Chain A
Amino acid sequence: MGAYLDAALIPVGQALLSGVLVGGVYGLMSIGFSLAFGVMRIVNFAHGDLVMYGMYVGVIASTAFGVDPLYAIPLSFLLMALLGAAQYQLVFKRFVGAATLQQLLAAIGLGLVLQMIAQVVFGADARSAPSMFGGQFVLLGPLFASAAQIVAFIVAVLCTIAVEALLLGTRWGKSVRAVADDIEAAELVGLSAQTINITAFALACGLAGIAGTIMVTYYPVDPSKGLSLMPIAIIATTIGGLGSIRGSFFGGLFCGVVQQLTAMLWNSALQDVPLYVLLLVFIAYKPTGMFGFRTE
């Protein structure tokens, strides 16, 4: 009897484990998306494209310089933060404060342009960049996990904790929250909303870069990856609560688990369909998500 139960439970346990590991990186990707919305009310449809560029940073480090993609993480953060700051200045600055139709369209246009630049520069083929942990597996009792995914999960958790600490524990974090709550009141007490917004946006984009670089150690990249990752970020953020950092992280874990369970119980080609349905259900019945505080 026990053996039968084990035989039934092991696949479920395996799906849960894989889901959580994949989901951690989804979470890291989503917290940047959530941060830009929470602070500036910017829905950055081009966020996924920054993840995609972060993946290419890993590929280039590994193929052109022979450097392990994991060592390229700080560089990826820096480059994407700079790119994010430039985007903020050129495109998003004028839209701060309201997620209007124009802002969404501008972000979509920007995303397409970024995707096409990647296609011209890197080509349309899928590329990957295994790290020093590539191809290794760790046995955990009856379950197994890829070492690269475990490392990626750990990096994602550490980054999420660091961002939470930054927002809750530092003077800068306090100013960000002040600007997010009431931009005019924040300026009245002497904060420069422009400076704070641009740094927050750069941080959000830098996180996308990190998420991309750790993801490419186990998941191949092509120029359309950015767009195809966006729905996950949107769903994780909505389920976790738009604007909430830890909510988005847990939303990411949840998405990973749902995908893996669907793949196991139903069909891996349709692993995202339950997520789309869940998104609709959350929007209809719990638009603030599990951890969202802001209502409007």
Chain B
Amino acid sequence: MDRRARQFGRVALPLLVLAVVAILPALPFVNNYILAAIVRALIFISLGQAWNIVAGIGGLLSLGHGVFLGLGGYVTGLLFNLLGWPPWLGVWVGVLVSLAVALVMGGMTLRMRGIFFALATVAVSLAFDQLARHYVDLTGGDNGLALKFMGDSLWAMQSRSPAPFVYAGLVFVVVYYGITRWILASQLGLEMRAVRDDETAAAASGVAVFRTKMLGFLVSAAMTALAGGLYMQFYQAIDPESAFGLGQAIQLQLPALIGGLGTAAGPILGGALMIVLSEITNWGAAKLGFVGVDLLVYGLVLLLVVLWAPKGIVGALRRRR
């Protein structure tokens, strides 16, 4: 019985949730407001899944994943606005640019202790922030870059209704979940966790430490840039703060941290919980007339999770078994 219950939890429950979310857009009482919140959650989750690869499995604290989100978004948007390239194509250029930036960043910092990597990622995102604000002609400066509006167009990956993005978001979350499971089960995942837990011991056992860290970082950067393309298409705009700001960098970490670092289900559970929490606080803050209260909530959650629940929701569930 216990075993069957567990199997239900492992297989049937996720499929059930997936089916419910997939049917939602067709239901009459589900309005665009709810659908948009679900899309936000799905994008948030997929970004968290990408960050989880490098930080959760690899143990490298990247505070600069906003760079890849931003490059994915800006490159997709710029290619569309300036050259008319559809996002189906443009986002891959964004992925390539992100990979190049990650290669340079990683090449310069990943041979050092983890702390230097974390510090460098802060610097790189702030550098991109200043550049994006300064080169107004290209990026729109502080106001950000808005996509040329095309109405409903599959070619331009635009839609007035959020419903198509629910399906796009679901594809991202399911594929990223699969990638995470695959990495966890693969040789690469084993080596990444070995490096995370003890770099010296991993090196002594024959793991190519630098190469392992770099591979994890590149995979994670590419996944973030791809999700950045989806972000751009859904929000139709991106600005320096929401791409390269430290607030965004911290948001990207919350799904995995709250759900459980290094687990495949963690970012999904954490991201879903965070969106609910942020909807409630935004509603409450609007009533009370506070601004920027979501950062306070993020900070508090970050602090409390790290201090009292370092293994997140998944860790808490596992302990109960």
Binding site for B on A (CB under 8 A): 43, 91, 94, 99, 101-102, 104-106, 108-113, 115-116, 119-120, 124, 227, 230-231, 234-235, 238, 267, 269-270, 272-273, 275-277, 279-281, 283-284, 287, 296
**Chain B, residue nearest A242 (CB):** B115
CB distance from A257 to the nearest CB of B (A): 18
Is the beta-carbon distance between B122 and A113 smaller than 8 angstroms? no
Q: In the complex, which of the residues A110, A115, A280 contacts B108, with contact meaning CB atoms closer than 8 Å?
A: A280
Known: A112-B296, A267-B134. 10 other contacts (CB 8 A): A104-B61, A105-B302, A109-B302, A116-B295, A234-B119, A234-B123, A238-B116, A276-B124, A276-B127, A280-B105
Q: List 7 A-B contacts (CB under 8 A).
A: A109-B298, A109-B301, A119-B292, A238-B116, A270-B134, A279-B123, A283-B109
Is the beta-carbon distance between A238 and B119 smaller than 8 angstroms? yes
For the complex, count residues of B whose C-beta is within 8 A of A: 47
Q: In the complex, which of the residues B130, B257, B290, B302 contacts A272, with contact meaning CB atoms closer than 8 Å?
A: B130
Secondary structure at chain B's binding surface: helix, strand, loop or mixed? helix
- What is the number of contacts between chain A and chain B, taking CB atoms within 8 Å? 122
Q: Could you say which residues of chain B place their CB within 8 Å of the CB of A113?
A: 296, 299-300, 303
Q: Does B319 contact A (CB under 8 A)?
A: no
Q: Does B22 contact A (CB under 8 A)?
A: no
Is the beta-carbon distance between A106 and B303 smaller than 8 angstroms? yes
CB distance from A125 to the nearest CB of B (A): 12
Is the beta-carbon distance between B296 and A116 smaller than 8 angstroms? yes
Q: Does B131 contact A (CB under 8 A)?
A: yes
* In the A-B complex, the 6 residue pairs with the closest CB atoms: A112-B299, A109-B302, A109-B303, A116-B296, A284-B108, A276-B127
Is the beta-carbon distance between B299 and A269 smaller than 8 angstroms? no
CA distance A226 to B299 in the complex (A): 15
Q: Does B253 contact A (CB under 8 A)?
A: yes
Is the beta-carbon distance between B302 and A108 smaller than 8 angstroms? yes
Is the beta-carbon distance between A280 and B109 smaller than 8 angstroms? yes
Chain B, range 257-309, C-beta contacts under 8 Å to A? 257, 290-293, 295-296, 298-304, 306-307
CA distance A53 to B199 in the complex (A): 38
Q: Could you say which residues of chain A place their CB within 8 Å of the CB of B303?
A: 91, 106, 109-110, 113
